[in-house]
Amino acid sequence: MTEILRVENLNKTFTKKSFLQSKSDITAAVRNVSFSLKDDEILAIAGQSGSGKSTIAKLILRAIVPDSGKIFFKGDEITDDMLKLKKFRMQCQMVYQDPYDSINPRMRILDIVNEPLEIHGIGNKKSRSQIVLDALQQVRLEPAQDISKKYPHMLSGGQRQRVVIARALVVKPKMIIADEPVSMLDVSTRAEILELMNEIKNENKISFIYITHDLATAKYFADKIIILNAGKIVEYGDINNVLTKPVHQYTKSLIEAISEPDHENLYREKKINGE
């Protein structure tokens, strides 16, 4: 497999100023982070809240600028060149944590999924409508024609997250960053969404970065894993090796803290049964 993404020595600090203190608080959110992602690979970035996971996603998408370090996509460095950045963002889509906040409640599903096509000037009105319907079918929102006419409040949380995934798929990305995409869903729906993303990855040859605090889902979804603590990588490698033979004490504590054994068993059963 060829390399699609490479991150080299990434650093980001945030400064918080307080009116009550003379000094500013400086937080190192990302510290000397390096990793790579290959074609058709799923990389999990795991750690507790505040470990820097989402900051890394924002840095990759250039939503925030790193203090130092470089990011390469398909061999080209990601910079602030707006034309190149727009092209990169079409090829690298984001699936957010909250399906309630990440889509406009006043727009029909058709218009929500169609929005990236309009932004990137893909197709005409007729062809865009068909692309949207195809994407809704791919994420198993049926009948697609009826779903496309609905508004977000008419759908369940799992259905809304499928809409978010469909919106990411319409521009045919090479990479998707999924930031805690199932954390706000119930246990059975989490398994369904993860299985759907795995099928999408296989059918479309899309690489995934899966950001999570849940090692149970990471174990059955990802190929490799990064364990992040206070912005620093403490372990990185094949997910089975890292989770079955952890070296760092922080990784061991995360494994011991897994509190959803039923979640883990449910996901395993669904994969075995081919659901």
Q: Quote the pLDDT of residue 262.
A: 46
Q: How confident is the model at residue 22 (pLDDT cuts 50, 70, 90)?
A: low
Both tokens of residue 81? 């060149």
CB of 99 within 8 A of CB of 160?
A: yes
- Predicted structure pTM score: 0.89
Q: How confident is the model at residue 184 (pLDDT cuts 50, 70, 90)?
A: confident
Q: Residue 260: pLDDT above 60?
A: no
In three-state secondary structure terms, 56 is: helix
DSSP state letters, 192-241? HHHHHHHHHHHHHT-EEEEEES-HHHHHHH-SEEEEEETTEEEEEEEHHH
Q: Give tens-digit pLDDT for 38-61.
A: 999 999 999 998 899 999 999 999
* CATH code of the domain covering residue 178: 3.40.50.300
Q: Per this entry, what is the length of the chain?
A: 275
Domain housing 113: 3-273
Q: Quote the pLDDT of residue 140.
A: 95
Cα(124)–Cα(128) distance, integer angstroms: 6
* Mean pLDDT over the full length of the chain: 90
Average pLDDT over every residue of 182-202: 90
Both tokens of residue 105? 């409640």
Question: Tokens 């309009």 identify what position?
Answer: 118
Cα(156)–Cα(186) distance, integer angstroms: 11
**Domain count across the chain:** 1
CB of 71 within 8 A of CB of 77?
A: yes
Q: Quote the pLDDT of residue 25.
A: 78
